[in-house]
Structure 1
């Protein structure tokens, strides 16, 4: 029979071995967490470095680079997002807003050739106007003594600029908001556009500005759709009052998975075997 003293010593020895193993496992766990943390930091630094490179990387088209700069560093997207998302009564208002913005942008970005041609025509009109003014003094009606008895034409009624801006059949609330917002962003768009001279850049800028605006409008619409139907299973679920939910004890410490072992009376203690057994 194993004596009481030896039995007590064996228990103490086993307890000390258990504590030693717990300490080793704890150190391993700390080292593992430290390694994971270092790995996370390394990955984070790599991703941040890649992001920094990507942020300065440029496209192979000056027109696209100019467009990207416009969308990132101007008020264009913020203005149209605010305007679009403010129209929440019905979708027709938002559709009207989107269509009016896209139509206005397309009209503003007339091909460069037409813009130059329009500028040349304007100069010709100015010359003709100067000629008319220079010879107008020979007209009889310019004499101060001339009495004009003809009926004067009544001035034309003033028209609402929003009517000229509008698209027939579209919601006017969306049109009006689009009219105001386009006046806020038109200058920034034209400033970026006027910096381009290469026909390819001009074409790329115009095409992808319209495409990106259309895609952003789709994105804004999806963000407004927040009413998601509740799953039927969740709606029919009834809480079981007799079965309280299992609530984990926040104060309890996670148990270390250490194998249990039996004290065998009269058995000799083999430390190496014991440690190997506990570490399995």
Structure 2
């Protein structure tokens, strides 16, 4: 027959073992959570420091070209990048839509700046020609046979504005094209206004070239942000090794044995009695 005291000791021992297992598991869980929290906080601190450093450099550094300075001001202080990022990232059905959006925007920027540059180069010649033109003294200018009346006719679009039919690229996705056209109408005048402030041909050339290059780089960044299939870095993977089934329980048992060593059986029996 089982001794009553031995039975009570067995029950108490089992209860303490269950508590010990729970303590071990809770301790390991808390340790993992704390490590993850500390890593997240550290990453946030490092990112803040990097952002502060980049901002400090960007606000003090000026480039050797007025065209590049104008471009930096345009990208930093206008809604161009936010409009393009929102439009690009909204096209999540298929990457083809985003590629179409990207291609249409880049080509449109190139097209819209080309006539503006030509117009600026020809501007001085046009002014000179007008000054040398023959002055005709007529009481009513509209009576001049060369006078063109546009009051009742649609005003012709400027060379810098792109119509929808001219905007489309053959073979590209139409959803991406339509979204690109809508967003480009929002940013077109902002781009032209900044470009129009530049008169030096070299400044205009650098502005155009690096605007397109930077937009392409930002589109690459937006695509990277959308990529959800990025593999976990090797360092992160090594930080938390995967345990085979049963290994975790084995480790818990080892830790449990260490705890049992510190249990005072005499105290347990004494408290029970």
Classify the TM-score, shorter chain. Answer: 0.5 to 0.7
Does residue 79 of structure 1 match 2:83?
A: yes
Match of 1:40 in 2: none
Separation in 1 of the partners of 2:148 and 2:81? 52
Q: 1:61 to 1:135 in 2, by over 3 A?
A: closer
Structure 2 gaps, min length 5: 1-47, 137-141, 150-162, 256-273
1:169-180 aligned within 5 A: 169-180=171-182
Does residue 99 of structure 1 match 2:103?
A: yes
Separation in 1 of the partners of 2:57 and 2:231? 42
CA contact (8 A) 2:100 2:177 kept: yes
Instruction: Choose from 167, 176, 190 the match for 1:188.
Output: 190
Match of 1:166 in 2: 168
Match of 1:224 in 2: 226
Number of residue pairs matched by the alignment: 177
- If you compute each CA radius of gyration, which structure gives the higher value, 1 or 2? 1
Shift of 1:242: 2.2
Separation in 2 of the partners of 1:222 and 1:88? 13
Shift of 1:218: 0.7
Q: 1:218 to 1:54 in 2, by over 3 A?
A: closer
For each residue in 1:151-199, what CA deviation from the matched residue of structure 2 results, as whole angstroms up to 9, or x when unmatched?
xxxxxxxxxx533311111100000000000011111111110000001
Match of 2:64 in 1: 60
Shift of 1:115: 1.3
Shift of 1:113: 5.3
Separation in 2 of the partners of 1:214 and 1:104? 13
For each residue in 1:122-165, what CA deviation from the matched residue of structure 2 results, as whole angstroms up to 9, or x when unmatched?
x89xx9x97447799xxxxxxxxxxxxxxxxxxxxxxxx53331
Shift of 1:110: 1.5
Q: TM-score, normalised by structure 1?
A: 0.53
1:198-217 aligned within 5 A: 198-217=200-219
Root mean square deviation of aligned Cα:
4.2
Higher relative helix content? 2
Separation in 1 of the partners of 2:116 and 2:148? 36
Separation in 2 of the partners of 1:135 and 1:195? 30
Shift of 1:243: 2.6
CA contact (8 A) 2:117 2:204 kept: no
CA contact (8 A) 1:162 1:175 kept: no
Instruction: Choose from 111, 114, 121 the match for 1:110.
Output: 114
Separation in 2 of the partners of 1:217 and 1:198? 29
CA contact (8 A) 2:100 2:172 kept: yes
Separation in 1 of the partners of 2:249 and 2:147? 102
Match of 2:74 in 1: 70
1:18-33 aligned within 5 A: none
Structure 1 gaps, min length 5: 1-43, 137-160, 249-280
SS in 1 for 2:69: helix
For each residue in 1:18-71, what CA deviation from the matched residue of structure 2 results, as whole angstroms up to 9, or x when unmatched?
xxxxxxxxxxxxxxxxxxxxxxxxxx99x9689635522200000000000000
Q: 1:236 to 1:111 in 2, by over 3 A?
A: farther
